[in-house]
Amino acid sequence: MPSKNKIDQRLKEYIKEHLSKGYSKKAVKHVLVNHGYDENYVDKLTGKYSELQFIKKYSIIVSLLFTILFFSFNLIELRETQITGYATTISTSNEGCCTPICQQTSKNECYGNFISDEKCSGIEECNVGCCIDKEGYCLANYLHGNCISSYGTNRNRDCSDIVFCRNITDKSYASRLYSIKGKKGAGVPALKPAADYYNSSFNIRYYLYDKANILSVVAELRDSEQLVDSITLYDDGLHNDGTENDNTYGNNWLSSKIKDFDGFKRLDVDILLKYSDGTKQSASKVQSIIVLNNNKCLPIYAEWSNSSGRKGIIFAAHNYDTSSDGYQIFETDVENFLDTLFSTGKFSSNKEEFNIYRFDQSLSYSNIQALTSSVSGHCPSYSNKKDLIVLLDINEDYCIQESLGVVRTNPQAIFYKNITNAEINNTFADFCSFVLTPKKLADEIIAFAAPPKIVFYTPDNISYDTSVVNVSFGISALNYPVNYSLFLDDSIVSEKTLSEDGTESVVLDLANGTNVVFVESVDKNSNSAFAQLLLNVTLQ
User: pLDDT > 90: what percent of the chain?
Assistant: 37
Of residues 485 and 194, more confidence is placed in 485
Grade residue 513 by pLDDT with cuts at 50, 70 and 90.
very high
CA distances, 273 to each of 97, 186, 238, 243, 286 (Å) = 54, 10, 20, 20, 13
Of residues 278 and 142, more confidence is placed in 278
Does this chain's domain 180-293 share its CATH topology with 450-537? yes
Of residues 424 and 237, more confidence is placed in 237
Mean per-residue pLDDT, 311-327: 92
269-314 pLDDT tens trace:
999 999 999 999 888 888 888 898 988 999 887 566 666 678 899 9
Grade residue 162 by pLDDT with cuts at 50, 70 and 90.
low
Mean per-residue pLDDT, 23-40: 74
Does the structure show a pLDDT above 90 at 507? yes
Element (H or E) spanning 419, and its range? none
CA distances, 228 to each of 273, 291, 508 (Å) = 18, 13, 95
Tell me which CATH homologous superfamily contains domain 450-537. Immunoglobulins (2.60.40.10)
Does the structure show a pLDDT above 50 at 84? no
Number of Cβ within 10 Å of residue 246's Cβ equals 15
Taking all residues of the chain, what is their mean pLDDT, rounded to a whole number?
Answer: 80
DSSP 263-276: EEEEEEEEEEEEET
- The pLDDT of residue 165 is 65
Does the structure show a pLDDT above 80 at 218? yes
40-74 pLDDT tens trace:
767 777 765 554 454 444 444 444 444 433 333 33
Mean per-residue pLDDT, 251-261: 90
Q: What share of the chain is helix, strand, coil (3-state, %, to 5)?
A: 30, 35, 35
Element (H or E) spanning 280, and its range? strand 280-293
Grade residue 352 by pLDDT with cuts at 50, 70 and 90.
confident
Which residues, at least 6 apart from 240, have a Cβ–Cβ distance to it below 8 Å?
Answer: 203, 205, 250, 251, 252
DSSP 55: H
pTM of structure: 0.63
Does the structure show a pLDDT above 70 at 118? yes
- The pLDDT of residue 134 is 62
Mean per-residue pLDDT, 143-148: 73
CA distances, 455 to each of 363, 366, 416 (Å) = 49, 46, 37
Which range has the worst mean pLDDT, 14-28, 333-347, 358-372, 472-486? 14-28
CB 19 within 8 A of CB 46: yes
Does the structure show a pLDDT above 50 at 259? yes
Q: How far is residue 316's CA from residue 391's CA, in Å, rounded to a whole number?
A: 5
Domain ranges of the chain: 6-167, 180-293, 297-446, 450-537
- The pLDDT of residue 303 is 63
Q: How far is residue 141's CA from residue 127's CA, in Å, rounded to a whole number?
A: 9
Does the structure show a pLDDT above 60 at 367? yes
Does the structure show a pLDDT above 60 at 391? yes
Of residues 396 and 96, more confidence is placed in 396
Mean per-residue pLDDT, 427-438: 89
3-state secondary structure of 305: coil
Q: How far is residue 63's CA from residue 40's CA, in Å, rounded to a whole number?
A: 35
Q: How far is residue 518's CA from residue 331's CA, in Å, rounded to a whole number?
A: 58
Which range has the worst mean pLDDT, 33-42, 348-357, 373-382, 384-393? 33-42
Q: How far is residue 477's CA from residue 529's CA, in Å, rounded to a whole number?
A: 10
Grade residue 188 by pLDDT with cuts at 50, 70 and 90.
confident
Does the structure show a pLDDT above 60 at 233? yes
Mean per-residue pLDDT, 467-494: 95
Fold adopted by 180-293: Immunoglobulin-like (2.60.40)
Does the structure show a pLDDT above 70 at 97? yes
Highest mean pLDDT among 199-213, 299-313, 464-478: 464-478
Helix axes of 326-341 and 6-20: crossing angle, nearest 10 degrees:
110
User: pLDDT > 70: what percent of the chain?
Assistant: 78
121-138 pLDDT tens trace:
777 777 777 777 766 667
- The pLDDT of residue 304 is 67
446-462 pLDDT tens trace:
889 899 999 999 999 89
Which range has the worst mean pLDDT, 50-64, 197-211, 283-297, 397-411? 50-64
- The pLDDT of residue 409 is 96
DSSP 234: B
Does the structure show a pLDDT above 60 at 182? no
Q: Looking at the DSSP assignment, which residues form a beta bridge with residue 187?
A: 208
Q: How far is residue 532's CA from residue 521's CA, in Å, rounded to a whole number?
A: 12
- The pLDDT of residue 220 is 95
Nearest to 523 by CA among 483, 470, 468: 483
DSSP 412: S
- The pLDDT of residue 372 is 94
